[in-house]
Amino acid sequence: MSEPLSPSSPPPVAEDDEESRFAGLEDWIATIVGLALIAIAVAGLIPKGLVP
Amino acid sequence: MSAITTTAGDSTPAAEPPAATPARRTNWIGVIVGLIVVVALAALTRYLDKNVPAWTADTAFGKIAKSIEYPVYAIAIGLIGNVILSALRVRDLLAPAFRTEFFIKTGLVLLGISVNLSVIWKAAGPAIIQALILITSVFFFAWWLGGKLGLDEKLRALLGTAVSICGVSAAIAAAGAVKARREQLAYAASLVIVFALPSIFLLPWLADLLNLRDVVAGAWIGGNIDTTAAVAAAGAIVGEDALQIATIVKTTQNALIGVVAVALTAYFAFRVAAKPAGATATASTVEGASAAAQASKPGLIELWRRFPKFVLGFVAASAIGTWYATSGWEGASANISTLNNLRTLFLILAFVSIGLEFRVKALRQAGWRPIVVFGAATIANIVLALILASILFRTVTT
């Protein structure tokens, strides 16, 4: 069994490219995006009815 | 024998080490088009979720349509999109945009705004106890059964970690810790997804059949299903309380990845590596990025590196939400409602991505024994988690 992995198989630990760098930072980016959205909504900057 | 089921005594590398490849650059056109596809499918999910019950109200399907929750539409639409994009041969081109992990983590941070800190406080104790018992029992069961069936120790470690903690993320952490082969990691990750998908629908159905309280059902789901996105999908099918508890239980398990990674690193460094040369498979190891290199230095830094940081965002959002809901600010209720809609949107994006990412190709590459190990460990996990959730969460309320 030496068939290479398909492009979408998920071993993102080994690729030194932009995609894997994003994967490494994914936790922080998700946290920042989530908290930023909360801050914007709490400040009342998202018009009511804009988010379906 | 396939490379993945290489026994501990087989030193022959069945797979050639991959040649060094230049760093791939991101295909931004693929990312943008892929994002448009994910958002369009999410919009279709929302549209169907809102309208199908009304369209079918006077038909035989009406009652069923009313009970179908949005994760079901999202995953089904994602799977259909997967088939269409694969037939058009563009799926792999767009795949970098199918960011299940990012969407689910952002959605869970947003979920935090609706979870009162007191709920986290009440559920944390039982969640930690449940996680410790489940991880230990299920990991060693998978390890033992894998040994009985002659699996390589690294694959046993990957399967045990994936089935007992949190699926793909845990498998990646374990792969770095034990220097597993890429094929082994891909295989373990594929097993996680293949088993998680039916669990999304099976566990809520069983919870209903067993007449479990939503809190207990959430704890059961959170302690059971391997991927965080699938936990959220199953929890959302049961209801809001189940979603909240399932998320707390799952994130507690996620937080223990670092502990297990450090333990595995130490075990493989001091025991497996001490065996005579050839005792463990040595083909292409997963050590490209920082994972394996840093995994060889167990300690607090490794624990922090493995810690899922979005959990901090979830707790911070919960603290903000707890204060905001009682602050008496004008429009607080409407703003929280807007955030709940945003959260649902991100969860839908994640569930659509589950369907788009799904593929069984890697499963065909490795024979039946790892499937038996993973399946048996999953069943053991289901039974044990049901007992633990019923005991530990019997008095917990949201």
> Closest Cα partner for B349 from B47, B35, B52?
B35
Q: Which residues of B touch A32 (CB under 8 A)?
A: 313
The per-residue pLDDT for B78 is 92
Q: What is the SS3 assignment for B181? A: strand
Contact flag B23-A17 (C-beta cutoff 8 Å): yes
> Closest Cα partner for B174 from B270, B291, B85?
B291
The per-residue pLDDT for A25 is 84
In this structure, is the dihedral angle defined by the CA atoms of residues B122, B164, B190 and B371, taken in order, positive or negative?
A: negative
> Closest Cα partner for B356 from B43, B71, B41, B49?
B41
In angstroms, the separation between the Cα of residue A12 and the nearest Cα of chain B is 8
Count of Cβ atoms closer than 10 Å to residue B167 Cβ: 27
Measured between its terminal Cα atoms, the distance across chain B in Å is 51
Q: Which residues of chain B, if any, have pLDDT below 70? A: 1-25, 271-299, 360-366
Q: What is the SS3 assignment for B25? A: coil
The per-residue pLDDT for A18 is 63
Task: Answer yes or no: are the C-beta atoms of B14 and B282 closer than 8 Å.
Answer: no
In angstroms, the separation between the Cα of residue A25 and the nearest Cα of chain B is 10
Count of Cβ atoms closer than 10 Å to residue B226 Cβ: 28
Q: What is the SS3 assignment for A16? A: coil
Contact flag B106-A41 (C-beta cutoff 8 Å): no
d(CA B288, CA B265): 17
**ipTM for this model:** 0.73
The per-residue pLDDT for B70 is 86
d(CA B15, CA B185): 14
B154 CB near a chain A CB, below 8 Å? no
> Closest Cα partner for B398 from B126, B124, B115, B113?
B115
Enumerate residues 6+ apart whose C-beta is below 8 A from B216.
Answer: B207, B389, B390, B393, B394
The per-residue pLDDT for A3 is 34
Strand segments (E) across chain B: none
Count of Cβ atoms closer than 10 Å to residue B48 Cβ: 19
HSE (CB half, 13 Å, CA atoms) of B347? Answer: 27
Nearest to A31 among B101, B292, B312 (CB): B312
B27 CB near a chain A CB, below 8 Å? no
Enumerate residues 6+ apart whose C-beta is below 8 A from B79.
Answer: B355, B356, B358
Residues 230-289 of B with CB under 8 A from A: 286-289
pLDDT at A28 over 70: yes
Task: Answer yes or no: are the C-beta atoms of B146 and B156 closer than 8 Å.
Answer: yes
Contact flag B339-A37 (C-beta cutoff 8 Å): yes
Burial B230-256 (b: 16+ CB within 10 A, else e): bbbbbbbbbbbbbbbbbbbbbbbbbbb
> Closest Cα partner for B39 from B114, B99, B125?
B99
Burial class (CB in 10 A: 0-12, 13-18, 19+), B21: exposed
**Looking at residue A3, what DSSP letter applies?**
P
Contact flag A34-B4 (C-beta cutoff 8 Å): no
Q: Which residues of A touch B102 (CB under 8 A)?
A: 26, 29-30
> Closest Cα partner for B172 from B49, B102, B260?
B260
Q: What is the SS3 assignment for B285? A: strand
A42 CB near a chain B CB, below 8 Å? yes
In angstroms, the separation between the Cα of residue A17 and the nearest Cα of chain B is 5
The letter for the amino acid at B287 is E
